[in-house]
Amino acid sequence: MDWFGIVKACLAVGVTGLIIGILLGFASRIFAVKTDEREEKIREILPGNNCGGCGYAGCDSLASAIAKGEAKVNGCPVGGEAVAKAIGAIMGTSAETVRMTAYVKCSGDCDHTGSKYEYSGNNSCREAVKAGGGGPKSCDYGCMGFGSCVSVCDFDAIHIINGVAVVDMDKCTACTRCVKECPKNLIDIIPYGSSYAVACNSNDKGGDVKKVCTSGCIGCTLCTRDCPTDAVKVENSLAVIDQTICCGCGLCADKCPQKVIKEL
């Protein structure tokens, strides 16, 4: 056995590997993409849910956008005020935040509405809405109660109660995952602490609404007449409250004959 040849080959391989390693080391330094230190610090502060509620693919993308000035320091709905202030300190800016929460615009529970037919498919709102007629519920606009929104909530903040999704506003982080999941666009994001909201999403005329739901908005406009801030409008047969100017007096709820304007 030629031991000298073996040793020589080993040395050659070792020297070649060493040279390649040195060259790669220099190359990594020369061609390295410089990372903004602020981006790394921001990423450490973000909660890591990667829920997409901020409008970006995940926490990494949001951290990069904030560091570049492309997103606001309060861009994370899950982190809330504490995270916004910490990121603001890194970026050298103030973080004014308004806590938000999800709200389901439907009061057509099992006591107020019925079914058009018996649905026996998958327990999925997206599947049920394809079954025909906008789903099995008598109101084409109402919550079907299959809980697709519940399945995507990471914070146990939404549950099906008596056939309708209901948000626990104290737990909700306004990540918007339930908003995106609902095939009927029933869920809005409103300021936490709002006084009143309209629990209906129907654009049908009053007579048609009464045929399918005993607690739906009939577009009568009584709620609009005594509002001191002009915060309530009826648009496309549906009452809408502008939460930015609502004073919380409750006159609209008192006037509503269907009791569809709910105190929160």
Torsion of CA 184, 214, 101, 220, to 10 degrees: 90
161 residue type, one letter? I
Extract the tokens encoding 67.
Answer: 């560091």
- pLDDT per residue as tens digits for the range 77-90: 888 888 888 888 88
pLDDT at residue number 230 = 96
Q: Are 172 and 156 in contact (CB under 8 A)?
A: no
CATH number at residue 83: 1.10.15.40
DSSP 25: H
- Say if strands 100-104 and 158-161 run parallel, antiparallel, or are unpaired: unpaired
| Residues in contact with 169: Cβ distance below 8 Å, sequence separation at least 6, in sequence order | 101, 102, 103, 157, 192, 264
Instruction: Indicate if 199 and 138 belong to the same structural domain.
Output: no
pLDDT at residue number 58 = 86
5 in any annotated domain: no
248 in any annotated domain: yes
Q: State the pLDDT confidence band at 35, using cuts at 50, 70 and 90.
A: low
Question: 70 lies in which domain range?
Answer: 37-91
Query: Of 91, 112, 136, which marks where a domain is finished?
Result: 91
pTM (2 decimals)?
0.75
Domains in the chain: how many in total? 3
Extract the tokens encoding 138.
Answer: 């008598």
CATH number at residue 219: 3.30.70.20
Ramachandran assignment for 212, one of left (phi > 0), alpha (psi -120 to 50 degrees), beta (any other): alpha
138 in any annotated domain: yes
Instruction: Indicate if 143 and 185 belong to the same structural domain.
Output: yes
Mean pLDDT of the chain: 88
pLDDT at residue number 28 = 63
Instruction: Indicate if 157 and 242 belong to the same structural domain.
Output: no
Extract the tokens encoding 48.
Answer: 């890591």
H/E segment holding residue 232: strand 232-235
* Cα separation, 12 vs 16, whole angstroms: 6
- pLDDT per residue as tens digits for the range 99-127: 899 999 999 999 999 999 988 888 899 99
* Cα separation, 145 vs 103, whole angstroms: 15
Query: Of 91, 108, 123, which marks where a domain is finished?
Result: 91
Extract the tokens encoding 157.
Answer: 């903040």
Q: List Cα–Cα distances, 61 to 31, 42, 49, 84, 251, in angstroms.
A: 22, 11, 12, 16, 45
